[in-house]
C-alpha cells in the first residue's frame, strides 16, 4: 500500500474515534460517521473540506508540516501517533530545535472543563493553538484566520483589528514581554525556520518591533488588566494571567473578573450567547 493511501487510512481511523463532544462540537442529528465528519475535521484544522477528502483518498501528497501540526491538534493525537503521522506524510517529525505544536492531554482537559473562563493556548512564538468557546465569544471566533493572523505578536505590531485596548503603560509592558519571549524562543529553537522568518518579517514590517528587538529589551508577564470592547456585551475590564505549562513552552492565557462585578455579569451573558450576535 502506498504511503499516501496509508496516510489516508490512518486519518480516517483517527477521525472516526474522536467524539464530536470531545472537541466542543454538537453531536445531535443523524451521523453516518463514527466520530468526526470530514467537514468538522476541516473546520477544526482550518483546512478546506476538499483538501481533507483528497488526503483521505490518497490524492494529496506531501502535506506541509503546518498542515500536519494542525491535523495532529484537531485529531488529538498522542506524541507517538503524531510522529507516525509525519512519517506517513514523508516529513521528518519536529526536531528538538524546532517549535512543537503538541498539546498535552491535561491542557486539553483544562480548556474543556473550565468553560466559565475565557482561555486560550499559545506556543513559544505566540501562535494561537487552542481556545475555548467563551474565549471565542469574547474576542471573536478565530476559526477563519490563517497563518500569521493567529500570531498575537504579528497582529499587534501590524495593527490588525482587535477588541482589546491598552493604556500606554499596558502597551509598553505587553510589547516588552512578547519581544523578550520571541528572543528567548530563538535561543531554544535555533533550527526553526518559521520562527526566524516571523522575526525577520516583523523587523521589516514594524519599526516599533525592530527598535525594541535591537535594544535587547527584557520583560516578563505579570498579572495585568485588559479592556475588551465587545459589540454586544459592551466594555469588559478583566484580569489577564499568563500561565506556563510545566515541561513545555505553552502559555495558557486566562481572563477573569471579580465575583459580583458588572464584568462578571457580562461574562455570564457571553457564556449564554456565545459567538451569536444579539438581536436588536
Q: What pLDDT score does 162 carry? A: 95
Do 222 and 109 share a structural domain?
A: yes
Residue 249 C-alpha cell reads as 513552552
Residue 35 C-alpha cell reads as 466520530
pLDDT digits (tens, 9 = 90+) for 69-110: 889 888 988 878 888 998 899 887 776 677 876 778 788 888
How many Å apart are CA 191 and CA 93, to the nearest integer?
A: 13
Residues facing 119 on adjacent strands: 254
Q: What pLDDT score does 107 carry? A: 85
Residues facing 230 on adjacent strands: 234
Do 207 and 255 share a structural domain?
A: yes
Q: What pLDDT score does 160 carry? A: 95
Give kind and range of the element (H or E) at residue 168: helix 168-188
Do 109 and 80 share a structural domain?
A: no
pLDDT average, residue stretch 121-134: 93
Residue positions counted in the chain:
280
To the nearest whole number, what is the mean pLDDT of the chain? 87
What residues make up the domain containing 175? 105-273
pLDDT digits (tens, 9 = 90+) for 193-227: 889 999 999 999 999 999 999 998 877 788 899 99
Domain boundary pick from 88, 123, 155: 88
Do 208 and 76 share a structural domain?
A: no
Cβ-contact 191, 95 below 8 angstroms: yes
Q: What pLDDT score does 187 carry? A: 84
How many Å apart are CA 241 and CA 11, to the nearest integer?
A: 36
How many Å apart are CA 68 and CA 11, to the nearest integer?
A: 11
Most confident of 33-42, 138-147, 148-157, 178-187: 148-157
pLDDT average, residue stretch 160-170: 94
Amino acid at each position: 500500500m502506498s504511503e499516501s493511501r496509508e496516510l489516508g487510512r490512518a486519518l480516517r481511523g483517527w477521525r472516526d474515534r474522536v467524539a464530536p463532544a470531545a472537541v466542543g462540537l454538537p453531536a445531535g442529528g443523524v451521523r453516518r460517521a463514527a466520530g468526526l465528519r470530514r467537514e468538522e475535521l476541516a473546520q477544526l484544522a482550518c483546512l478546506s473540506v476538499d483538501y481533507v477528502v483528497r488526503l483521505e483518498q490518497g490524492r494529496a501528497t506531501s502535506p506541509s508540516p503546518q498542515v500536519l501540526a494542525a491535523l495532529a491538534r484537531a485529531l488529538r493525537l498522542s506524541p507517538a501517533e503524531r510522529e507516525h503521522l509525519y512519517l506517513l506524510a514523508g516529513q521528518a517529525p519536529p526536531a528538538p530545535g524546532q517549535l512543537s505544536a503538541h498539546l498535552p492531554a491535561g491542557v486539553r482537559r483544562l480548556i474543556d472543563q473550565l468553560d466559565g473562563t475565557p482561555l486560550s493556548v499559545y506556543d513559544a512564538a505566540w501562535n494561537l493553538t487552542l481556545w475555548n468557546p467563551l474565549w471565542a465569544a469574547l474576542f471573536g471566533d478565530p476559526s477563519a484566520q490563517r497563518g500569521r493572523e493567529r500570531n498575537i505578536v504579528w497582529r499587534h505590531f501590524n495593527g490588525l483589528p482587535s477588541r482589546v485596548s491598552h493604556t500606554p503603560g499596558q502597551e509598553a509592558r505587553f510589547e516588552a514581554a512578547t519581544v523578550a519571549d520571541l528572543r528567548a524562543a530563538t535561543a531554544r529553537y535555533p533550527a526553526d525556520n518559521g520562527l526566524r522568518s516571523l522575526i525577520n518579517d516583523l523587523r521589516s514590517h514594524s519599526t516599533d518591533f525592530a527598535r525594541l528587538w535591537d535594544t535587547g529589551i527584557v520583560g516578563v508577564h505579570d498579572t495585568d488588566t485588559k479592556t475588551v470592547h465587545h459589540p454586544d456585551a459592551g466594555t469588559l475590564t478583566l484580569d489577564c494571567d499568563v500561565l506556563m505549562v510545566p515541561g513545555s513552552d505553552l502559555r495558557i492565557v486566562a481572563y477573569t473578573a471579580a465575583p459580583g462585578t458588572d464584568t462578571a455579569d457580562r461574562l455570564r451573558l457571553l457564556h449564554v450567547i456565545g459567538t451569536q450576535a444579539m438581536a436588536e
